[in-house]
Structure 1
Amino acid sequence: MKTTYIRLSLSAVLLLGIYSCKKGEATSSSELKSYEATTDSAAVSEDSVSSVASMEVKDKKFIKTADVNMEVKDVYNATIAIEKSVQDLGGFVTKSNLQSNVVSEDTYNTSDTEAMLIKKYKTENTIQVRVPTEKLGELLTFINTNKLFLNSRTINAEDVTANIKYSELETKRNQKTSENIEKIKTNKDKVTLDDENMSEGNLQKLTNMNIADNLKYSTVDIFIKEPKLRIAEIAVTNINSIDNKYRYNFIYDAKDGFVYGFYLIQRIIVGLINIWPIVLIAGGVIYFLRKRKMAKPVLPKNQE
């Protein structure tokens, strides 16, 4: 009986050990598969960005551009990170317009002399960068890591193969025209033709340079903003208390009133001096009228 009990106990322990090992292996296998699936998903996401941005077709030339509109946690930090990434990839920033749009602005008095200015605002930035075309996928992948929400992303690949061929043909034609002009006898018309052909050749060279530059560097327009309002608390002076403090000062105002009255009297005297001819004429007229009235005889009542 005792031997049978021991055998049963050993069998139970052995079975539990085997079950635990299998469960551990199953758990490890499940976690490994989950990790591999996550890694593969991230790789596919990154590859999907890179494949679109780094597309290459035999015997084709593409000018690639991209436009990204997204929301980020902090516009300033995201701007610094994106600009640094562009420089690390061998590109450069052509525009960065960071601004804070104030939604509301209120001042609250906290004491007789202090107040708090509360600003609610949203920060946004419009960035334009140029990056080597072969690094476009890396830049877009990095930009994607900074997003909270992606509003839109557009990647354009303009086929300019025909444009390049046409530009080469135009260059050859311009050279041939220049050779033909050289054969013409020198006169006024030859000078005009040579000048026009040279101007056309310069424009063609400029076109070739622009195409080559756009093939080498891709242009990326990035618009980033924050999803919610930010609040800035700025300590300021209580303007109302300052106004009340200096609004009325009796001693100063009384002194100022006395001085103003003194200068007013001076201005009146000066004004009278300025119109002395009028005063003199008026005095003469009054004197003449009074003298005439006194010289007029008074007739007795009986004679009337």
Structure 2
Amino acid sequence: MKTTYLTLSLSTVLLLGIYSCKKGESSATDYTGYQATDSASAMTSDSISSAASMNVKDKQFIKTADINMGVKDVYHATISIEKSVQQMGGFVTQSNLRSNVVSEDTYNTSDQEAMLIKKYQTENTMQVRVPTEKLGEFLTSVNNDKLFLNSRSIHAEDVTANIRYAELEEKRNQKTSENIGKISSNKDKVILDDQNKSEGNLQKLTSMNRADRLTYSTVDIYIKEPKLRVAEIAITNTNSIDNKYRYNFIYDAKDGFVYGFYLIQKIIVTLINIWPLLLIASALIYFLRKRKISIPEQTSKE
């Protein structure tokens, strides 16, 4: 009996040990799964800027990005983006914030007051330049302001060959300048030297622009609010003001009397200006009447 009891006790202890081991393995598996999920989330977050932060040995890239997204408040998102650009050592080259009015109605609330109701949608088109090494960080900060990402494109142009070609062209230009210096002075030498210097200046300008685009990446941003906003603006009731001053009998009667008086003066002045014509017309009328009187007298005598 005692042997049977000892056997059952040992069996129970073994089963509990196995269960504990299983539970520990399960907990470890769950923890590992949680770590994998957390790492996946981090990778998803980092993937926002992975293309922007790409670096390849012995390669140089001019990087640009284009973002189109919806935000809750365009004005606050614009301020946030401009602040991020400034903190990262970049600058804003364009910011065109505007409100597109969808409808505009006026409602009279009293004889003197009215309410102007505007329904509008705000959007902004921006272009910013940020240091290339901070492009990924900037795109991540912009992503925090979005409600919905419509599109985002990142372009990296490999200009390694162009840079090497520019270096070769610079050497060629220097060699050409040395060869021109060996020519005896004449008119052709002046022309060749001028053309060579002009070509050298263009090469320097191209190199400067390329260096600027390598140092600072260009990001075009378009943000828009997904819903209409409503603005309530208190204004004056213009209808009551128009009705109040539309007609004034005393003033209009006085104005009509004055106008009639000036009209009579104008007529008199006009008659004075054409007095020769009036005199000629009077003379013609007199002679015609006199002739008509004389003709019947002769007829009656006959």
Q: TM-score, normalised by structure 1?
A: 0.86
Who is 1:216 aligned against?
Answer: 215
Stretch deviating more after TM superposition (44-53 or 132-141): 44-53
- Measured after TM superposition, the shift of residue 36 of structure 1 is 5.0
Who is 1:95 aligned against?
Answer: 94
Who is 2:297 aligned against?
Answer: 298
Provide Cα deviations, 1:1-45, integer angstroms capped at 9, x if missing partner: xxxxxxxxxxxxxxxxxxxxxxxx9xx999977975664344212
- Measured after TM superposition, the shift of residue 295 of structure 1 is 3.8
Who is 1:116 aligned against?
Answer: 115
Stretch deviating more after TM superposition (187-196 or 99-108): 99-108
* Structure 1 segments unaligned to the other structure (5+ residues): 1-24
Provide Cα deviations, 1:83-108, integer angstroms capped at 9, x if missing partner: 00011111111111101111111111
Q: The residue matched to 1:158 in structure 2 has which SS?
A: strand
* RMSD between superposed Cα atoms in Å: 2.3
Provide Cα deviations, 1:90-135, integer angstroms capped at 9, x if missing partner: 1111111101111111111111111111111110001111111110
1:177 correspondence with 2:210: no
Change beyond 3 A, Cα 1:130–1:231: same
Amino acid in structure 1 at the alignment position of 2:256: G
Within-5 A mapping of 1:219-298: 219-296=218-295, 298=297
Within-5 A mapping of 1:55-204: 55-204=54-203
Stretch deviating more after TM superposition (66-75 or 290-299): 290-299
Report the Cα distance in structure 2 between the residues aligned to 1:41 and 1:102, rounded to whole angstroms: 43
Report the Cα distance in structure 2 between the residues aligned to 1:274 and 1:299, rounded to whole angstroms: 41
Change beyond 3 A, Cα 1:172–1:93: same
Provide Cα deviations, 1:52-97, integer angstroms capped at 9, x if missing partner: 1110111111111100000000000000000000111111111111
* Structure 2 segments unaligned to the other structure (5+ residues): 1-23
Q: The residue matched to 1:236 in structure 2 has which SS?
A: strand
Provide Cα deviations, 1:226-266, integer angstroms capped at 9, x if missing partner: 00111111111111111111110000000000000001101
Report the Cα distance in structure 2 between the residues aligned to 1:104 and 1:189, rounded to whole angstroms: 70
Report the Cα distance in structure 2 between the residues aligned to 1:254 and 1:29, rounded to whole angstroms: 102
Stretch deviating more after TM superposition (188-197 or 282-291): 282-291
Change beyond 3 A, Cα 1:293–1:88: same
Change beyond 3 A, Cα 1:227–1:38: farther
Q: TM-score, normalised by structure 2?
A: 0.86
Who is 1:10 aligned against?
Answer: none
Amino acid in structure 2 at the alignment position of 1:270: V
Q: The residue matched to 1:148 in structure 2 has which SS?
A: strand
Change beyond 3 A, Cα 1:144–1:260: same
Change beyond 3 A, Cα 1:109–1:268: same
Identity of aligned residues (%): 75
- Measured after TM superposition, the shift of residue 50 of structure 1 is 2.5
Change beyond 3 A, Cα 1:242–1:34: farther
Who is 2:20 aligned against?
Answer: none
Report the Cα distance in structure 2 between the residues aligned to 1:206 and 1:154, rounded to whole angstroms: 28
